[in-house]
Amino acid sequence: MTSQLIKKIVTGDEIRRAFLKFYSEKLHKIIPSASLIPDDPTVMLTIAGMLPFKPVFLGLKERPSKRATSSQKCIRTNDIENVGVTARHHTFFEMLGNFSFGDYFKREAIQWAWELVTNIYQLSVENIIVSVFHEDEESAKIWRDEIGIHPDRIVKLGEEDNFWSSGKTGPCGPCSELYYDFHPEKGLQDIDLEDGDRFIEFYNLVFMQYNRDPNGKLTDLKFKNIDTGMGLERMAQILQKKQNNYETDLIFPIIQKICEIANIDYFSSDDKNKISLKIIGDHTRAVIHLISDGVAASNLGRGYILRRLIRRMVRHGRLLGITNEFLPNIATVGINLMQNNYPDLKNNNDLILNEIKIEEIRFRETLERGEKLLDELISSGQKLISGFKAFELYDTYGFPLELTEEIAYENSISVDVKGFEEEMNAQKERAKAASSNIDLTLEGSLEREIDLFNKTVFNGYNSLLSEAEIKGIFMDSTLVKQASEGQKVLIVLDQTTFYGESGGQVGDIGTIFSKDVEVLVDNVIRKKKCFFTLWNDQKRNTNYWTKS
Ligand code: SER
C-alpha cells in the first residue's frame, strides 16, 4: 500500500487510537488510564504515563505481560505560570506511552518510535530532530547507522535534558527525544532545541535502567526497561497544523464555549484575552478529571490544587468580562468532549458539576466582599490604593493584585504596587521568623507545626525495613519532647518504609523498635510532605521515646 492510500491521521481521537493500535500490534497490552490520584506517596498526582508501572520497573511487582501501552491522563502544576502563555504547557495532558518491563530495550524502542512517527503519523524526515544523552553512544549509533538519520539531526544533550526520572529517587535512565521542526528551512546549523517557536519535543524514549537512592546513588535495576511518553496534545498540534496545543480539537471546543459566553471571538482577541481563554480551556480539563477521580476542593494538598485551578478560572473569566456563574457550563462541554474516552466523567457528571458550582459560588462571595471594600476605598475619593490596603484585599479576601489594579484602573485611580510588594515581603519575613524561632515545647496545632519538618523520605519501594530518626512527637496535636507507656502519640520520622494513608489505600501497620523500646504502629498518615506514624503503645513497652 502506498502512503497516499493511507488515511491521514488528524484528530486527537485518531492519534490516540493509532498509537495504541500500533503498539498492540507489536504485542503490547493496552492498559486503561489509571487515576490521577497515584498509588505512590512520592508524588501528589499522576505526572507521567509510567507512574502506575513504577513498582514494576523497580522489580517489586510483576505484570502478566512484559509489554504495555496506554494513554494516561496526567497533571503537572509545576509549570502553571506558563499555561496559556507558551504554545504547549498544560496542567492536564494525555501521555501516550509504550512500556517494556525487562523485555525489549533501546533498539526496538527507537525503531518502533521511528516507524510510528514516519509511517503511521507520516511526519517527514526533514521535520524531525532527535536528541540523545551525551554519554549514550549506543543510542546515537542506532539512530545514525540503523535508522539512517543524518548525524546533524542528532543532538547530544546533558543530564538536565536527557536523563529522566519521576522524582529525586526511583527508576530513571538516559533518554532520547524526538523533536518536530516547524522551520526546517532554517537549516541544521546551530540548532537550539530550546527555541520553542521552532521546535517542539513530542516523544520521549526513556531507557530506564537505574534506581536512584535518596543519596543520589545509581544502581542497576533488576531489568532494563523502556518507558516512553508522547504528548497527545503536542502531536495533535503538529498533525492539525495549529499554532498551539489549545487550538486543537482536544481543547478548542471548550475555548469556543467560553468565547460564546463572553461574547468575544478567539481569533480577533488580543494576546491577553487569548491567554485567559487558554487558561480556562486548560484548567477545565484538569478540574473535571480531578473531581471525577475523587478530589474535593480544600486548603490542603490535591484539594488545594483543585481550588487554585477553579479560582484561576473564575478570575480569568472576570478578566474576559464574564460576571455570572459560568463554570458548570464550561465543564459540561469538557465532559462531553472527553467522556467517550473517559466514561467516568459521564458517570460522575453531577458530582463534578456540583463541586464546581459550589466552589465557584464560594469564591465569588469572597471576591464580592473584597469588591465592597474596594468600592468603599474608591468612593472615598482617594486617588491611590495603598500597598497596605491592596495587600489586605489579597491576603484576607483572596483578591489578586491584578484584579485590584484592573478595578482601580477602571475608576481612574492607581495602586501602590511597590507598597504591596513590600507588604508581601514583610509577611514572608514574619512567617520565616515565626517558624525559625518556634519553641518545640510550645503548644500548637499540627497544621501549623508541620512546616517545621523536612520532607519524610519514603523508602518503602525498596525495602520493608528502615532505620529512622524521630524528628517530632505530637500528643493531642501538641508537640512534646517525650512520651511513655500507654500513650497514644503521633510521630514524624526522617525516613520511613510505612506507607501513608492516601488515594483510598489505608496506611501501613507495623512495629518500630530500638534497643529499649518496641511500639505498635496503628496507622500512618501523610500531611503535606511528612509521614506521620501513629503509635498506640498499649501492649509492650519498657521506657519512653524521646525526640532525637
Ligand atoms: N516518563 C517520561 C516522560 O514523562 C517518558 O514517558 O517524559
43 Cα: distance to centroid of ligand 1 (angstroms)? 15
pLDDT for 183 equals 96
Residue matched to cell numbers 521546535: 199
pTM score, two decimals? 0.74
CA–CA gap between residue 468 and residue 466 (Å, rounded): 6
Name the CATH superfamily housing domain 12-240. Answer: Bira Bifunctional Protein; Domain 2 (3.30.930.10)
49 CB within 6 A, ligand 1: yes
Between 400 and 160, the more confident residue is 160
What pLDDT score does 404 carry? 86
pLDDT digits over 337-375, tens only?
999 999 999 999 999 999 999 999 988 888 888 888 888
* Annotated domain spans of the chain: 12-240, 251-361, 369-436, 445-547
Check residues 493 and 455 and name the one with the higher pLDDT.
Answer: 493
Q: Which comes out higher in pLDDT, residue 161 or 520?
A: 161
How many A from CA of 204 to the centre of ligand 1? 6
Q: How far apart are CA 345 and CA 342, in angstroms?
A: 6
Does residue 48's CB lie within 6 angstroms of at least one atom of ligand 1? yes
Q: Is the CB of 227 under 6 A from ligand 1?
A: yes
Highest mean pLDDT among 386-390, 426-430, 470-474, 494-498: 386-390
Residue 401: what pLDDT?
83
Considering the chain, what percentage of its residues have pLDDT values greater than 70?
86
- The residue type at 396: T
171 lines ligand 1 (CB under 6 A): no
DSSP states along 311-325:
HHHHHHHHHTT--S-
Can you tell me the distance from the alpha carbon of 475 to that of 480, in angstroms, rounded to the nearest whole number?
Answer: 7
Q: What pLDDT sits at residue 469?
A: 82
Å from CA of 173 to ligand 1 middle = 11
Is the shortest distance between the CB of 173 and ligand 1 below 6 Å?
no
Ligand 1 contact, 204 CB (< 6 A): yes
Does 174 sit in the ligand 1 pocket, CB within 6 Å? no
H or E stretch at 98: strand 92-101
CA of 205 to the centre of ligand 1 (A): 7
pLDDT of residue 440: 27
Phi, psi of 155 (to 5 degrees): -110, 130
Q: Are 477 and 445 in contact (CB under 8 A)?
A: yes
Which of 204, 207, 209 gets mutated to test ligand 1 (max ligand atoms within 8 A of its CB)?
A: 204
Give the gyration radius of the chain's Cα atoms.
26
- Give the mean pLDDT of 485-490: 68
Q: Which atom of ligand 1 is nearest to the CA of 48?
A: 4
pLDDT of residue 262: 98
CA distance 450 to 446: 6
Q: Which of 175, 200, 226, 230 to mutate to test the pocket of ligand 1 (most atoms within 8 A of CB)?
A: 175
Please report where in the chains the cell 509545576 appears, as a residue: 78
If phi > 0 it is left, if psi is from -120 to 50 it is alpha, else beta; for residue 536 that is beta
Q: What share of the chain is helix, strand, coil (3-state, %, to 5)?
A: 40, 25, 35
Element (H, E) at 14: helix 12-25
Q: What is the pLDDT of residues 290-307, one digit of tens each?
A: 999 999 998 778 998 999
Mean pLDDT of 460-472: 77
Instruction: Give the Å distance between the CA of 162 and the centre of ligand 1.
Output: 11
| Site to substitute for ligand 1 among 89, 95, 110, 179, most atoms within 8 A of C-beta | 95
- Using the mean position of ligand 1's atoms as its centre, give its distance from the Cα of residue 206 in Å: 7
Ligand 1 centre from 233 Cα, in Å?
15
Ligand 1 center from residue 189 Cα (angstroms): 28
Condensed to tens digits (0 to 9), the pLDDT of residues 234-272 reads 999 999 999 999 999 999 999 999 999 999 999 999 999
Q: Has residue 535 got a pLDDT over 70?
A: no
Cα(418)–Cα(406) distance, rounded to whole angstroms?
Answer: 16
pLDDT at 539 over 50: no
Residues in contact with 380: Cβ distance below 8 Å, sequence separation at least 6, in sequence order: none
Q: How is residue 441 written as a grid cell?
A: 515545647
Pocket probe mutation, ligand 1, options 160, 227, 232, 235, max atoms within 8 Å of Cβ: 227
Which whole number is the average pLDDT over 413-428? Answer: 91
Query: What digits encode the pLDDT tens for the residues 503-515?
Result: 556 677 777 877 6
228 Cβ below 6 A of ligand 1: yes
* CB of 169 closer than 6 angstroms to any ligand 1 atom: no
CA-nearest residue, atom 6 of ligand 1: 229
Cβ 230 under 6 angstroms from ligand 1: no
